[in-house]
Each structure stands twice: as C-alpha cells, then as structure tokens.
Copies of this chain bind each other. A is one copy, B any other.
C-alpha cells in the first residue's frame, strides 16, 4: 500500500463528491443473482423492496431476467450508462468489469469482491491493477472487500448485508461511515433496535480509493444528514481525514467515532484484520480532539451520543439540572456528572427557598429531589422543573422518574407537566431516565425527550452535547504563519548545531559555549559562573548520557580541566570513531521545573509535537500531550495546561510559578520549525527544557534527520 506523505500545511483538503454514488439514476449489478439471499441478489431484492426510483440493471450472461427485471448479458449490452455499478464477480471478471464500465463512463463502482490487499501480496498487486484501471477512466471505487452502502431516502441499497432482512432502516438523519462492514451494519441494526433512524451507511472495506474520510466529508455536505457516526481502524491519508473532521466542525455536524486499536493486543488484531496502519493511538485521539470529534468508549456510548445529537441542541455553556424522585439516584447522577466534567451548579438560594415553601421535605439544591411526594402531586414535577430552568438557568435537564415514568396512571400527567415546561423553553435539552414499556417510551420520544434507562449514560451523552457546542462555537484556530525555511544538514547535527538551528527559529537554549580545549572551557565557565554542566560534542554521539558524556555540578576551574579530560577519554573509549567537535560548557540552571518537548513524524499525520513534565512524569506516568504541527501559542498554552502535572508549573507546593507563556511560545515555535524543516525531519528531542519563573530554555537538543522525502 502506498503512503501519502502528509502535506505540511493546514490548507483545507477536499474530499470526494459522492452525490452520484448515493443518488444515482441507474445502477448496474455485475454478477446479478436471481436468489435474493446471494451476494449478487441481495442488492436487487432490497432495492425492489425499498422502491428505488432509478433504473436497476442486472448483468449476468446466463439469464434474461433476474427477480422480475430484464437482465443483460454484458456491460456492453446495457441500454444506458449506469451511474453506479455493483461488482459482485470474482477476480479477473471484476477487473474486466471495471475496464468495461469505465469505458462506458460509469463514475462509481461498489466492489463487493474480496481477495485483494487484505489477503496477501498478490492480492495487493491485483488491487493496484483495479485502481489503475479505474483511474484511467476517472472512475471512483468503493472497496474492494466492502459490504456496500445504503441511502434510505433514495431507496438505494447496493449492499449485501443480511441485516437488512430484519427490516429497512428507520427514518432519521444519522449517517454511518465505517471501515468495517460487519461493524457498520451492527451499528445500523443496534440503532434500529433502539428506534433510532439511520439515513445512510457507507462501508469502505480496503479503501483502495474512497476512504472513510471521503464518506465523512460527503456526509458533512449532505443536507439529509445532521449527525455522523464513524468506525475507524486506521487511517492512511492523515490530512484528508483531518480535513474531513475540520469540515464537519465548520458545518456544525458532530462526528462521533469508534476508533479501535487502543490496546497492544487490539493493534495486533487490527493488523491481522485489515491492511490499515494502526498509528499511534494517542496521536489519533489528539487529532479527534483538535477537531472537536468525539471518541466513544463503547458502541453504546457511540449510539447514546449520536442519538442525543439528533436533537441538534448543543448548549454553550452546558450546565446540568437534575430532577429526581430518589435522593440516591440524585447522588449517583452527581457522581457521574463530576466524572464527566459536566457542571451541576446549585439552584439560587431564593429559588431553593421557594421550592422548600412548596414542599418542605424537598431537597432543592441540585439535584432537586421532589421525593416520592411527587406521586401524590404530579404538579410538583412541572413547578420544580420550571424553576430549574427559569431560576437555575440549566441548559440540560435530566429527570429520574424510573418506574413511575412508565406507570399508566402517572405517565400522561407527567408528560403534560413536562411538555408545558418544554413548550416555554424549547432550547433546552431534556433527558428522562424512566423504566417504561416500549409504546410509552415512543410517546416520550415523540414529544422530544431523550430516553436513557441508566441515568449515568444520559449524563455522558448530555455532556458530549456541551463539548460539541463549545467546539462548534470556537473560532477557527489562528492561521500560524509559516516559519523561515529550515535547511537541515545531510546527517544528524551535533547538539550545538541543533541548538543553532533552533535558535534561528526563536527557540532559546541555556547559555553555553563550544570549547575547543580545556582552557577555553575554564574561561567559558568563569564567564557563566559556577557550577556549570559539561558535555561531549560530537555529531556521531546522539545519546550522550549513555556513554557518560554529561557532567553535572562542575564546581571550579580545576574540576573543569579534569572534566574535559574525562569526557574526551570516555568518548574515545565508547565511541572510538566519533568526530569530536569539542566540549560544550553551559550554565547549570537551578530551581527550574524540568519539562520535555519533542517532535515525532507520524506516518499518517506528519510532524506531531509532544510536551510533558520531565523524568518520571513522562517515563512512569505517561503524562504527555500531543498535537499535530503547526499550531499557535494559544493552542500551545492550552496543551501545557492540560498536562495532569501542570500545577507544578503554575505554583503548586509553594513554588514560584513558571513562565508558561515562554514555554508555550517555545512549543509553538517548535511546531512551526518542524513543518518548515520538511519531510526529512525525523524527530526532535528537547530534554530537559528548563521552565523558570522568567523564560524557558532547552538544556539539550537532539535532531534526527531521515531519508529524503
């Protein structure tokens, strides 16, 4: 599989226009079957059932008629040019079909055929031939090895999943973009089982041409869809993927994603399953966060959040008001809200007093507990909820009514109470936790309430609506000016050379001098003041500490002389052939917080910056933050403040606060440098970076240069 070198800029990426693919006038089925349970028969059966309005053109040399439709012996014999062709024939016949369809001007092929890159090298070569043929004819391919797609509004079902047997999708405005056919149809079926409509499903299989990014990008532009669910194992074209997410954010359409392969064993399984590049999971999460896409932790969470998003209410700021008939459930919900980070501010004191006056045993703080007394006087529900919105100002309301909400004697009155409030405040999100029979649930949903049996799941979904709102309303990040062009040397630069390159980009190092001999070192140390740090300087010795090439706490002139001799002796012993450029003498910084910054080139997303606190925080606690390059100082500062140990930088334990602004400037400049350095930059390590009350300085710098891009 070929990898695209990621573009070094944030320029918008345009994904494919899929309108002719999802709403064709005519579709051919190459390998059409009279048996509606065969791969080549299912699409025809489903489209007939769904009332597809376009022409269905079966192709099969052995039949004159298929499922009641005229059947054609070949592509050449077709009475019209199909906009889309489903290819359900094996191997060589599939390639021939692509050639013939392409020659006639068909624009899209949906390739069910398997046995390509997902199997072996020979399959990968055959896949390459398919793609080459399609490109020659400007035809786009979905698949191969894909399950197909559907567009419910058009009755268009070029898909062979058995899950459609159980029923067509319910009406709705959710689209599903999935690399896995089985998982994509599982999502559709799970939504149907919960009464949630899914208007479109696109499964992308091997992604020889069209990718999940194209599917997301198209769904962003399709006016029939409001919400996008996605399933991803790995991404090949990072910029296209990020571009699709960015477009969705700009369009105000939430992307809720299941990205598998978090775990080591999961990554191994993903590689055995598809030909995807699993990528670094933390980097993937950072890309999603950058664009406000939501990463679901489970399939249920994915559906819960997408379902909430169908209301198209994304509150900013989001605060949660809870009304409950059980104090215990109120506490449980409060715990869940804190875990999710969803604020539950208390009701105003005066409003609490008014509710107490209505019902002395109420607990009106928030959660607002109207107690079992609500069973005797259901008007309490309306009056309390009204006060929560009018006085408490909550943007999201969660009501815990459990079985009472389903009781035939209570439910109609509860609906009336809530509906009166909702009519006055239609801009709020309302979720109910009730245990009710199916038909009663449908009534609540028809009224516009979100239903979650488990209130903790409601909290997660409501919180996601606020996060989406914040993302949709955030300004686009400021354009980051391109850096000065960087000329990387042919081979890995020495520490001093690396620091010179970085200094030219405004990234400061600790004051230091390159010293050719011992006396120069003594003079430099004298000018900085003791103690100093001494390091061996060689382009051939990247990891100096490993050979004892760094001396700390060098406290006087005599120690500098001894240190100089020691460093040369160690270099000669452990790295005999290394070119020695001298010894580096630097001021020893005290009282700094040690940080680490770095760049790594991700094969999918290009240069990615990392920042964390040094030492144990990185190595033991894995407390680091990633972000694609480049980015500005505001983003850099937010990254730094999101480190768990950030309080150490901002004055914890009675320390003076560090200069976070200087640290952020350095990080942003590093990200610009990484892009300006181009694809030959393999990695940068600034470790440690000293964060001081004034300023931040790199104490060491390693730049690794890779093959020419």
Interface of A toward B, CB cutoff 8 Å: 119, 162-163, 165-166, 178-180, 182-183, 185-186, 189-190, 193, 231, 233, 258, 260-270, 272-274, 297-300, 325-332, 334-339, 344, 361, 363, 365, 367, 369, 372, 375, 402-404, 406-407, 435, 453-457, 615-616, 619-621, 644-645, 647-648, 652-653
Contacts and interface: CB of A to CB of B under 8 A. Distances in A.
27 contacts: A162-B375, A162-B404, A162-B407, A166-B407, A180-B329, A182-B402, A183-B332, A189-B402, A233-B331, A258-B332, A260-B328, A260-B334, A264-B338, A265-B334, A265-B338, A266-B334, A268-B334, A272-B327, A273-B328, A273-B330, A274-B327, A297-B456, A298-B336, A298-B456, A300-B456, A619-B653, A620-B644
Nearest to A118: B361
A182 B233 contact: no
A233 B652 contact: no
Nearest to A459: B298
Given A616-B645, A620-B648, 10 more contacts: A166-B407, A178-B328, A183-B332, A260-B331, A261-B335, A268-B334, A297-B456, A299-B454, A300-B454, A620-B652
B645 A403 contact: no
A299 B365 contact: no
Contacts of A265: 334, 337-338, 344
A299 B456 contact: yes
B328 A231 contact: yes
Contacts of A328: 178-180, 182-183, 231, 233, 260, 273
A398 to B, nearest CB: 13
Nearest to A262: B335
Contacts of A339: 262-263
Number of copies: 2
B338 A648 contact: no
Contacts of A261: 331, 335
Contacts of A372: 182
A444 to B, nearest CB: 16
Nearest to A456: B298
Given A269-B365, A325-B182, A616-B653, A189 B403 contact: yes
A119 B361 contact: yes
A186 B334 contact: no
A538 to B, nearest CB: 22
Contacts of A331: 233, 260-261, 266-267, 269-270, 273
A403 B616 contact: no
Shortest beta-carbon contacts, A-B, top 7: A273-B327, A182-B326, A180-B328, A263-B338, A266-B334, A260-B331, A183-B328
A616 B325 contact: no
B363 A435 contact: no
Contact of A363 (B180, B264, B269): B269
A260 B166 contact: no
A435 B193 CA distance: 8
A403 B186 contact: yes
B329 A182 contact: yes
A270 B645 CA distance: 31
A665 B11 CA distance: 61
Contacts of A185: 402-403
A515 to B, nearest CB: 28
Contacts of A266: 331-332, 334-335, 338
Interface centre among A190, A266, A338, A616 (most CB of B within 10 A): A266
Interface centre among A260, A297, A327, A435 (most CB of B within 10 A): A327
Nearest to A367: B269
Given A327-B180, A456-B298, A648 B272 contact: no
Given A300-B454, A328-B179, A337-B263, A273 B369 contact: yes
Given A182-B329, A265-B337, A272-B365, A403 B166 contact: yes
B186 A435 contact: yes
A162 B403 contact: yes
A301 B297 CA distance: 15
Interface centre among A178, A326, A339 (most CB of B within 10 A): A326
A185 B435 CA distance: 11
A483 B186 CA distance: 61
Contact of A620 (B182, B402, B647): B647
A269 B327 contact: yes
Interface centre among A361, A456, A621 (most CB of B within 10 A): A621
A694 B165 CA distance: 70
A325 B182 CA distance: 8
Contacts of A189: 402-403, 435
A620 B644 CA distance: 8
A148 to B, nearest CB: 13
Contacts of A367: 269
A205 to B, nearest CB: 11
A372 B372 CA distance: 52
Nearest to A183: B328
Contact of A457 (B231, B267, B300): B300
A652 B327 contact: no
A365 B270 CA distance: 11
A365 B268 contact: yes
B260 A335 contact: yes
